[in-house]
Amino acid sequence: MENNKDCTMFFDRKNIPPQLLWQLYKNLLLSRLIEEKMLVLLRQGKISKWFSGIGQEAISVGATLAMQNDEWIMPLHRNLGVFTSRNMPLHKLFMQWQGNKNGYSKGRERSFHFGSKEHFICGMISHLGPQLAIADGVALAYKLKKEKKVSLAFTGDGGTSEGDFHEALNVAAVWDLPVIFVIENNGYALSTPVHEQYRCDGLVDKARSYGMEGVRIEGNNVLEVYDTIHGVREYCIRKQKPYLVECMTFRMRGHEEASGIKYVPEKLFEEWAEKDPIKRYEEYLLSQQLFLPDEIENVKTEIRKYIEKELSIGFHATAMAVDTSEELHDVFYSSLPKKTKSSVHKHIRKSETSSGSHVVRDIRFVDAIREGLQQSMRNNDNLVLMGQDIADYGGVFKVTEDFVNEFGKERVRNTPLCESAIVGAALGLSLEGFKSVMEMQFADFVSVGFNQVVNNLAKIHYRWGQNADVVIRMPTGGTVNAGPFHSQSNEAWFIHTPGLKVVYPSTPADAKGLIIAAINDPNPVIFFEHKALYRKITGDVDEVYFETEIGKARQVCEGNDISIITYGLGVHWALDYAAQHSEVSFDVLDLRTLLPLDYDAIKASVNHTGKVLVLHEDTLTGGVGGEISAWICEHCFELLDAPVMRCASLDTPVPFNAELEKNFMADSRLHSYIQKLLNY
C-alpha cells in the first residue's frame, strides 16, 4: 500500500480524460513489448542492431501524444514510441529494421535512420545534432504560413555538447520560432557520464543563455511529460517562441546492445528500476481504480498477439531484388515541370522591341544573378532567401540590395553566424513545401556547415524519399588578393557527393538562367559564383524569366586543334588565350554543371580535336580535372592523339600577395601546357 501511495503522489492526472490515460498506457506498453521482442530477435540473429529505449519510453510517448499528428517530430535512436504513437505499422517498421526493400527506406538505411512524410517524422543521421536545426526550418515554415503549429526535436545529453545544439537554439531564439527542444538526459553519451559533458547544474540552465524559457521534468512520468509538452506547445504557439525541456531519465540497456553496460554502476540500475515508467504508471492506474487488473492483462495479451501477427508479415516480406537503375535514379528527386507566373524561355538572345516582346541587354554578371533571384522571388511565393547581412545591407557583394524593401524581412532573412543551422533550417523549410536560397557569405565558410550539406541535404532523398529544395550560393575563387580563407575553389568537395547538383556559370546569361533553374529544381544545388566575374564580366541577358538547363555544357567555340574543357573563370582564361593565338584552332567547352557532368558534350569535344586540356582554377590534386581526364581515357581513348593534360593551380593554399597569387593560378601555366599538346 505504501508503494501505491507514493505512486499516487508521483502522478498528477489533472484534467486528462480516462481514454487518454488508457491511450498513454497502451502506447507505453506497445513500445516496451516491441523492445523486448527485438532483443530476443537480436540474440537470434534475425535483426542486426538495436538501440534500446527501455526505461525512456515515457518521453517519446508522452511528447508525441501531446503534439498534433500533422506536426513534425525529429526523433533519435531511442524514440521508438514516436514511431508507434504515430501509428506506423509494425510490420513495415520491422521490414525497415531488417533492411527489407518494403521498409521505409528501401533497405538503404538502418534502424531509426529514416523518416516518413506521411507521419510527419524526419529521419535522423548519425551525427545527431543536425536534427535540431531542421526543426527550426519547419517551425519557420509554420510561422510564415501563420499556422498554429510547433515542431519538436529530440537530443541527448551528449548532443548538447555539439555546436549544432548551440546554433539551433540560437537561431530559434533570434527568429522567435515555435519549436520545442527536448533533451533526454539519461546520464550517459554512450559511456561518457554527464559530469564529463557539462559543468552547469542542469542542461535546462542553457535555455537562459539563448533567451528562451526552459523546464526540467521527471522523464519517467508519462503524465508529467504529456502535460508539460502539451502546455509548452500552447506557449510556443501563443508567444511564437521556442522552449527547452530537459527530461531526466535513464536507459536500462547499453548505448546499443553490442556496447554493453559494464561502465555503469550497478546501483544506478537498481535505483532506476524502481522508477520504471511503465511499472509505476500501471501501479498508479490500478491504485486509482481507473482500470481493473483484468483490463491490464487483456491489453498485454492483445498487444503481444498484434506484435506476433505483424512480425509474421514482416518475416514473409519479399527478398531484396537489387535494381541498379533504380538505385541511381533515386539519388535525385524527379518531378513534373511546374507552371510559373511567367513563361520559361531558354537561350533567347535576339533583342525584340515590338509590343509584347522582350529585350536583351548587356549587363554585369552580378546583376544577372540579382535579376534571376528577384524574378524567382516574384514567381515563387514560397521562396525564402537566407544569409548573413543579406537584408538591409544587401549582402557583402550587394547581390540582394533593396530586396528587403520589395519582399520583406520574412522572406529576405538575415541570419546569425550559424552556417550549419541555416543549412538545416533550409532543409526544414523544404519539409513543409518551401524553397530556399542560402547565401554562404564566402564559399570558404561552407566548411562549418559541411555536415548538413553532404550528409543531410544530399542523402535525404535516397534515404527515405524526401526532397531538399535548397540552393546554396557560393561566392568563390581567387585573383582578388583575399588570401587563403576567402579565395578557395572548393567545388571538388561536393562533386564526390551523390545527391547534390553542382552548378558553376561563367557568363551573365548562364548566371541568370542557371540560378533560376537551380531554384526550380527540387534537389539541393550548390551554386558557385566567381567573385572576380561579378563586376568584371558583362554580356547579353534576356530580360524575361528563363531557365538554362542544368547538366548541359555549352560549346563556346568550335575548333580542330585543341579542346579546352573548363568552367567558371577558366572559360575567360581560355577565350583570352585563344584571342591572342589565332593561329591555333581551339574547341572550348564550358561545363557549366559539374555534377552531373555532360559526358556527351565532353566526348564530342574530344572527337573534334583529339587533344584535350582540362583547365580549372582549383588545385590539381583531387580537382574536377582528374575525374574528367580519367573518364576521357576510359571512354574516348581511341579518339585521342595525345595524353589528356590538366592545367590547374598549385597544390598550396591560395596566397594573399598579388605576385604569389598570380603564380598560384592555373593561367600562369596555360601557355606551357598548350605548347606541350601542340608539339606532342
Cα dihedral sign, 238-18-79-103:
negative
- From CA 614, how far away is CA 647, in angstroms rounded? 6
Contact 463, 105 (CB under 8 A): yes
> Angle CA(53)–CA(57)–CA(58) in degrees, nearest 5?
150
- Active-site residue, selected from the candidate residues 91, 119, 166, 486: 486
Q: Verify whether residue 486 is a known catalytic residue.
A: yes
- From CA 673, how far away is CA 616, in angstroms rounded? 13
- From CA 243, how far away is CA 235, in angstroms rounded? 8
In Å, how far are 350, 528, 544 from 356, measured between CA atoms? 14, 34, 11
Nearest to 478 by CA among 369, 570, 394: 570
- From CA 111, how far away is CA 101, in angstroms rounded? 13
Cell output for 238: 501563443
> Angle CA(64)–CA(214)–CA(433) in degrees, nearest 5?
50
The strands making up 562-566's β-sheet, listed across from edge to edge, are 554-557, 586-590, 562-566, 612-619, 645-649
Nearest to 477 by CA among 534, 393, 414: 534
Contact 401, 395 (CB under 8 A): yes
Residue 614 bridge partners (DSSP): 565, 646
- From CA 147, how far away is CA 141, in angstroms rounded? 9
Nearest to 610 by CA among 645, 583, 659: 645
Cell output for 76: 533519435
Burial of 641 (0-12, 13-18, 19+ CB in 10 A): exposed
**Residue 437, SS3?**
strand
First to last CA, the chain: 97
What residues are labeled active site?
486
